[in-house]
Structure 1
């Protein structure tokens, strides 16, 4: 797709055209199959933990948005996949160097050319976003969407690191829970229910 066609598709919200840039979900499922996955959230509390070695020992490490990593001891060093809902500055793109970028946000106008044409790029379907929004009663976080996506695959296990549902706020900003459009209590309850029915899911 040429840059002009991409710009037009993004501006006109031409979802079928944008979807042609995406790897199929089956590719993601194949890569996830049988693997232990670490999903690393951006809770400030993770910086006080010593989970870095456990994160790096996972078969696949997935991080979120700008993915601050203040210390390898707490956060590890690897980034295999990156789930995005924001534009990624060049410095963060170089620092993280993910093998695959997943655009999770329904806000397609934020999607940039470089991200959309990166190797293994995946565009999260709007229908999946809408379904989770209805289930939670509020727009889901990127983390919640990634949990749902990963558990839809035949993974061996999914461990959540740095998820405290905004109790300690986020390393990537200064906003408080009331200043963001998510229902963290609903997400915490949703994750707890998921963990009860699916033994593959655990919080570190």
Structure 2
């Protein structure tokens, strides 16, 4: 079996950008056996959508190593076809028409300059397509240091782009704000009813899991504590610490090697890394107010998770509840103290800086990627004006400036 595909097998002319990306993704697939296998978790939503299309033939366009197409085709008694230019055995682009195309977690991997080429090819294969598109950066990095998601756009942008090629595009409700489903035909009434059943089942399952989760969390709090503040002090004693924020302006810098040279690197929320040249890749701690996936923490070998929304501690991800050896739950009294320093909600970055100041004992703290929302963030697609309404970034900036004036060991890297 060839390691790579010949250009003529792809069905359309590749640019040099596409050739490079194709090779990088092929390397990632070879080096990470689990990469490209996760789309089956969407089976409960995709199955009723696919059934509504009543397909005799289904093409999984960008199939990776997932079994999704096999499962769907078996249940619907359809003929399955696979295509993925980065997988040697599936790299020959099938020609002709298909009753349905699945395109899950694919388009965000396509360079923006190549999207029209790919969408035109998909449209030529079927009028009925199920798209699933993540809208934030991935945790996976390509061998050249770039993020595995190279086209990171908000949902409305994707809707406009898909609408250039499909006369009808429906946006479906998503379980989280970092991904979105789109379909290119009008669901039948039965299809919508079946989809509503799936949503109801998910809500019931989540509700039951949350009740169990709350009881488990209460037991853990009563009988076994989480990481203590003294443990954090011991962790940072005399250490050179890099705090890496998510401001998009950091992507314009070349701080990667400098960041990774620190003893501890603390990133915020999901620790988005657009490229290692600007952001580095070392990750010791993560301070977050949003759910982080288990695979992210374990794959990065994170030593500490600083859970910042202490007033919403029951939202701690279920799998993290038992990880008492790595989780620090920010106390309500701490959060109240930090809140008193500003007039609005505290940002995750501000809470972390306040905590580090209180801990003391550090050797050096260098702060990167903090422009206090002068530019957008890599964590989400929130509007700049909305962000400034929710948070008082001027006061948060003043806190850091005063801290630096008092302590020469603290520096803001712009």
2:227 is aligned, of 23, 30, 51, to 23
**Contact 1:42–1:67 (8 Å) recurs in 2:** yes
Match of 1:51 in 2: 255
Whole-Å Cα distance in 1 between the matches of residues 297 and 241 of structure 2? 21
Q: Secondary structure at the match of 1:47?
A: helix
Within a 5 Å distance, the mapping from 1:1-204 to structure 2 comes to 6-8=213-215, 17=221, 20-106=224-310, 107-118=312-323, 119-151=325-357, 152-180=359-387, 181-204=390-413
Whole-Å Cα distance in 2 between the matches of residues 177 and 97 of structure 1? 33
**Contact 1:44–1:170 (8 Å) recurs in 2:** yes
How far off its partner does 1:169 sit?
Answer: 1.2
Query: Which 10-residue stretch deviates more, 110-119 or 136-145?
Result: 110-119
List gaps (5 residues or longer) in structure 2.
Answer: 1-209
List gaps (5 residues or longer) in structure 1.
Answer: none
How far off its partner does 1:37 sit?
Answer: 0.3
**Contact 1:115–1:121 (8 Å) recurs in 2:** yes
Q: Secondary structure at the match of 2:266?
A: strand
Name the larger-Rg structure.
Answer: 2
CA distances 1:17-75 after superposition (whole Å, capped 9, x unpaired) = 37943111101100100011000000001111100111100010001101110111101
Query: Which 10-residue stretch deviates more, 148-157 or 163-172?
Result: 148-157
How far off its partner does 1:5 sit?
Answer: 6.6
Whole-Å Cα distance in 1 between the matches of residues 391 and 299 of structure 2? 28
**Contact 1:21–1:117 (8 Å) recurs in 2:** no
Q: Which has the higher contact order (CA 8 A, sep 6+)?
A: 1
**Contact 2:216–2:321 (8 Å) recurs in 1:** no
RMSD, matched Cα = 2.3
CA distances 1:96-138 after superposition (whole Å, capped 9, x unpaired) = 3311111011322321222232232111111111111111122
Whole-Å Cα distance in 2 between the matches of residues 32 and 15 of structure 1? 29
Whole-Å Cα distance in 2 between the matches of residues 48 and 90 of structure 1? 30
Whole-Å Cα distance in 2 between the matches of residues 188 and 158 of structure 1? 16
Q: Secondary structure at the match of 1:135?
A: coil
Whole-Å Cα distance in 1 between the matches of residues 250 and 274 of structure 2? 10
Q: Kindly tell me the number of residue pairs found equivalent between the two proteins.
A: 199
Whole-Å Cα distance in 2 between the matches of residues 16 and 195 of structure 1? 38
How far off its partner does 1:150 sit?
Answer: 1.6
Q: Secondary structure at the match of 2:340?
A: helix
The verdict on how the C-alpha distance between 1:4 and 1:116 changes in structure 2, with shifts beyond 3 A counting, is same
The verdict on how the C-alpha distance between 1:4 and 1:174 changes in structure 2, with shifts beyond 3 A counting, is closer
How far off its partner does 1:176 sit?
Answer: 2.2
Q: Secondary structure at the match of 1:136?
A: coil
Whole-Å Cα distance in 2 between the matches of residues 171 and 4 of structure 1? 32
TM-score, structure 2 length as denominator? Answer: 0.45
Q: Secondary structure at the match of 1:114?
A: helix
